[in-house]
């Protein structure tokens, strides 16, 4: 796939939970982590056209043509049967879209939004496309005022962030856990590069938000509060957004995990404040 095309999972024209104000949210397909708690688990993998979902579709919206799974949007009833069946944690509904096609979506809603947020999956796994899209937005009359944000897990290399730096207005990064062993248990990978990314983004004025997802009995933010607060303090005046885990939409063992409530968020907030962290944004919602 060339730099002017990307595999897109979904476009939400108006979102109020993917950055400041009303934003178009572009969800790209594919992720380099395997978070047990992922709320979009079907965005992790990419369809390999195995065809297992085709005979299971209750509305015959899927077919196998020329060895490829084909999705018929006008027939689909959005029942998500295919998502739950997919062994790749992918979706046959992901579509290859060009920069021009995404720009056309942005144009339609530009008067009503403050910017766009590219998310996923993991947006930076399709970095050339994101760079091309942001450059095109900068050069397009009527779109140049829109802010361009990335919602990321922080796994991108520093050289990748350097490519994004002149094109991007900010990056929101999720730190899934503080201790490396805890992070590996939740995501399958180390958080060493992620912490490095967070520090680099903060030092270069690109860290729009640091996000912590509270999962009762699973994340270690409170147990590691002293080290975590020292790390955050070293980032400068950075906003810390707290999100509350809920089991809706997750797969596997995480479906049995307890959702985070106001009491869990307040306990984490108190631990952060005790460590000198004051720019704390509470969850936008609880489910």
The alpha carbon torsion through 98, 99, 102, 107 (nearest 10 deg) reads -140
| Predicted pLDDT of residue 29 | 96
Count of domains observed in the chain: 2
| Predicted pLDDT of residue 1 | 58
Average pLDDT, the chain: 94
- What is the pairing mode between strands 147-152 and 115-119? parallel
Confidence of residue 284 (pLDDT cuts 50, 70, 90): confident
Residue that is last in its domain, among 60, 93, 126? 93
> Is residue 244 domain-shared with residue 106, that is, in the same domain?
yes
**Structural domain span for residue 135:** 5-43+95-281
Alpha helices in the chain (DSSP H): 81-85, 99-109, 127-139, 158-164, 180-187, 192-203, 225-233, 262-274
> Is residue 131 domain-shared with residue 181, that is, in the same domain?
yes
| C-beta of residue 211 within 8 angstroms of C-beta of residue 175 | yes
The pTM of this model reads 0.93
Residue 177 has which token pair? 């856990």
Characterize 262-279 residue by residue with b for buried, 16 or more Cβ atoms within 10 angstroms of its Cβ, and e for exposed.
eebbeebbebbeebebee
Q: List the CATH number of the domain containing 273.
A: 3.20.20.70
Q: What span, in angstroms and rounded, lies between the C-alpha atoms of 38 and 124?
A: 17
Residue that is last in its domain, among 93, 108, 128? 93
User: Can you tell me the mean pLDDT for 175-203?
Assistant: 98
Q: To the nearest whole percent, how much of the chain has pLDDT over 70?
A: 98
| C-beta of residue 150 within 8 angstroms of C-beta of residue 164 | yes
Q: What span, in angstroms and rounded, lies between the C-alpha atoms of 26 and 106?
A: 10
Q: What is the pLDDT of residues 12-56, one digit of tens each?
A: 999 998 999 999 999 999 999 999 999 888 899 888 989 899 999
Q: What is the pLDDT of residues 200-212, one digit of tens each?
A: 999 999 999 999 9
Residue that is last in its domain, among 78, 93, 108? 93
Q: What is the pLDDT of residues 98-130, one digit of tens each?
A: 999 999 999 999 999 999 999 999 999 999 999
Q: What span, in angstroms and rounded, lies between the C-alpha atoms of 39 and 121?
A: 10
Confidence of residue 154 (pLDDT cuts 50, 70, 90): very high
Is residue 287 in a domain?
A: no
**All residues at 6 or more sequence positions from 104 whose CB lies less than 8 Å from its CB, including other chains:** none
């Amino acid at each position: 796939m060339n730099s002017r095309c990307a595999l897109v999972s979904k476009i939400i024209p108006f979102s109020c939970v993917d950055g400041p104000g009303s934003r178009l949210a572009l969800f790209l397909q594919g992720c380099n982590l395997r978070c047990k708690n992922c709320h979009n688990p079907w965005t992790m993998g990419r369809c390999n056209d195995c065809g297992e979902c085709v005979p299971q579709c209750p509305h015959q919206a899927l077919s196998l043509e020329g060895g490829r799974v084909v999705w018929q949007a006008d027939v689909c009833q959005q029942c998500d049967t295919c998502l739950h069946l997919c062994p790749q944690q992918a979706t046959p509904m992901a579509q290859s879209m060009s920069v021009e096609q995404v720009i056309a979506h942005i144009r339609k809603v530009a008067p009503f939004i403050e910017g766009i947020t590219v998310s996923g999956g993991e947006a930076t796994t399709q970095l050339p496309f994101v760079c091309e899209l942001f450059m095109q937005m900068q050069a397009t009359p009527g779109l140049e005022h829109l802010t361009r944000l990335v919602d990321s897990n922080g796994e991108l290399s520093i050289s990748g962030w350097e490519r994004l730096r002149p094109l991007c207005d900010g990056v929101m990064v999720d730190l899934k856990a503080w201790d490396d062993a805890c992070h590996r248990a939740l995501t399958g990978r180390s958080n060493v590069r992620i912490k490095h990314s967070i520090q680099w983004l903060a030092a270069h004025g690109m860290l729009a938000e640091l996000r912590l997802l509270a999962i009762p009995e699973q994340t270690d933010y409170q147990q590691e509060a002293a080290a975590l607060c020292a790390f955050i303090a070293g980032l400068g005046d950075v906003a810390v957004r707290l999100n509350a885990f809920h089991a809706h939409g997750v797969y596997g063992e995480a479906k049995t995990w307890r959702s985070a409530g106001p009491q869990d968020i307040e306990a984490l907030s108190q631990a952060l404040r005790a460590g000198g962290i004051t720019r704390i944004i509470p969850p936008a919602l609880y489910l």
